[in-house]
Structure 1
Amino acid sequence: MNVPALSGRLARWQVLLSEFDIQYVSQKEVKGSAIAEFIASRTSQEYEPIDFDFPDEDLMSILIREASVSNDEYWKLTFDGVSNALGHGIGAILVSSDGDHYPFTTRLNFDCTNNTTEYVACIFGLRAAIERKINMLKVYGDSALVIYQIKGEWEIKDFKLVKYKKLVLKLIKEFEEVTFDYIPIEENQIADALATFAVAFKYQSYPEQATENDKRTIRRMSSGYVLDGEVLYKKALDQVLLRCVDTKEAKSILEEVHEGICGTHANVHILVRQIIRFGYY
C-alpha cells in the first residue's frame, strides 16, 4: 500500500478498507511438521493410494511420426521494407498451405532507398523459401514499382536497382512455379510491422567483451526499460514510465525539489519518493 503511485486496483482496495480498523501483523513461522500433521488429520476415509504400476511394461518402444509439411503445394510469401530517419529494415513472412506462419526480419546496416529495401526484403524471403525447399510460391508485396518491374511490365530507371532485379530473376529459377502480385498496404500489415520492428532497434549485438553471464544480465535489466526514440524510460512497479535523466539533470531536479520549488523540505527517502512521483528516475 505504501508505493509512490498506487495502481487502480490497489487504490480501490485502499479506499474500501479505510473505513475498517485493520491492524496488519507479519506472518509467524510455521513448522513443516505442523502442516503435515494438519493435512494427515483431515485425510478422507475414501482415500486410495496412487497405483504406480505401468500397465504396458512389456512395451519396448513408441514410434512418433512427425507431421511433414508438403512443399509441393503453393506457399505464400509477403514482404515489405522500411527506410526512414531511424534506419532501414526488412520483413518477410512465409505461409504454408496449412496456414503456418514463418516470420523473418532484420536490420540493414547500409544506406539505401525505400525501393532498395523492398527489393532486399523480396530477396530475403525468396532465399528463405529456397532453404525450406519450397517448389511453388506466390509472392505478394505492397510496392507496385518492385512487383511490376520484376514482372517486366515496368522499366527500371534507377540503375542501382538493376542488380537487385537480376538477383531476383536468378532466384526465381530455383522454383518450379512462382508468381508475383501487388497487394495494398492494408493487406500487408504483418510484414510492414516486422520491418518497422527491425528499424526500431539500433543495436542488435552485445559488446564484444561480454560473456554469456553478461548477456543474460543485459537481457534481464533491459526488460525493465523502454526506449521511445532517443528518450529512455524506467518501468515502475505500477508500470508507470519514469524518464531517465543524466547526472546534470538529476542534480538540477534534486536542487529544485530540496529548495522547495516543487514544495518539499524532506529527508532523503521522502525526497526520492517525491522525485519518482514527478516521473523521473
Structure 2
Amino acid sequence: MVNHRGIEANPAKIKALLDMKCPTSVKQCLIGKGIGKPPVACILCKQKVAGRGNQAHRIEVRTAYPLRHILHKPESSGRMLKWAVELGQFDLEYCPRAAIKGQALADFVLKFDEEVDDKAIVLEEPTSQESHQDEKKQELPHPWWILHVDGAVNNNRSGAGIVLITPEGHCLMSASHFKFNATNNDAEYEALINGLKLALEVGAVNLIVQSDSELVVNQVNGGFQARGPRTELYMRCTKRLLEKFLSAKLESVPREENSNADALAKMGS
C-alpha cells in the first residue's frame, strides 16, 4: 500500500496468507508470480502431504521465473540459502507456466479485500439487451459539448472558425472560406450555423455555444431586434438548429476566451 508514510505491507493480504488452508490433494500444481511465494507454497504443500505418510510425492511447480537456477546458485546466501536447504529434501519439478488464465483470475480477486463492502462486484444479467440499453440511455445524463465560433472579414474576403470540444476534451477544428460578399454579422452567423450543423452531425445532445459577437448572441436570445431580411433569415435558421438539441445555451464571451476560433476565422478569410 502506498500512502503518505511511504510503501507499506497490506495487512489484509498478510492475514489472507497466514489464514490460507493447506492443500488437500496429493498432486499439486503451484503457480507463483514472485520468487518467495513458490518455495513457501511448496513447504506448506509438502508438510500436508507428509502428514499422511512417509511416502514422497513429486510436486510440480509452474512458474515464469528461473527458480531452479536461482535456488541452486553456488553463491546463494541468507534467505535464498535457507530456502534451498529446506526445499532440497523434496522432489520438486519446475515447469514453465503455459497458461495464465487461472493466475489472472486469482490476481483479480486478490485486489478486493473481503472486509470492505463497497468494493464488492455485483453482476446482473439483464432481461434483454435492448431493454437494458434503453434503461441505460434514460438513466445516464448526456454530457455537454462546447462550441466556439467566430467570423472574420478582411479585405473583402470572409471566413469562419469553428472549435468543437467533446466531453472528453478532444477538439474538432474547422476553418471555412466564403466565396461571397459578407458583412461581419453575416460571417458571425455563418460560423454559428456551420458550427451547429457540425455538432448535430457528430451526435452532440447538450451544447454550450460561445461567441464573441454580442450582437448575434443577443439577437438569437431575444435581447436585440434583427434588422434587415438577411439578418432575420440568419436568426431564424440559427433558432431552428438550436431547437434540435436537447439543451443548448448561447453565451457571449470576451475575444481572448475565443482566440482559437478567431485564429481559424482569420485563416479562412
Q: Shorter-chain-normalised TM-score: which range? A: 0.3 to 0.5
TM-score (structure 1 length as normaliser): 0.45
Tell which structure's C-alpha radius of gyration is larger: 2
TM-score (structure 2 length as normaliser): 0.47
